[in-house]
Amino acid sequence: MNFVLVNGRTPHRETFCGLCCQRIGSDGYVRDIRTQLCYCRVTCYAVQCGSTMVLLEERAKASRPASRTLQAMSIRK
Q: Domain span at residue 16?
A: 3-76
For the chain, 77 residues long, give each residue's pLDDT as a single digit of tens.
Answer: 677 778 777 777 888 998 899 998 888 888 888 888 899 988 888 888 776 666 667 767 777 665 554 555 555 54
What domain count does the chain have? 1
Query: What is the C-alpha to C-alpha distance for residues 77 and 22, in angstroms, rounded to an integer?
Result: 36
CA 2 to chain centre: 11
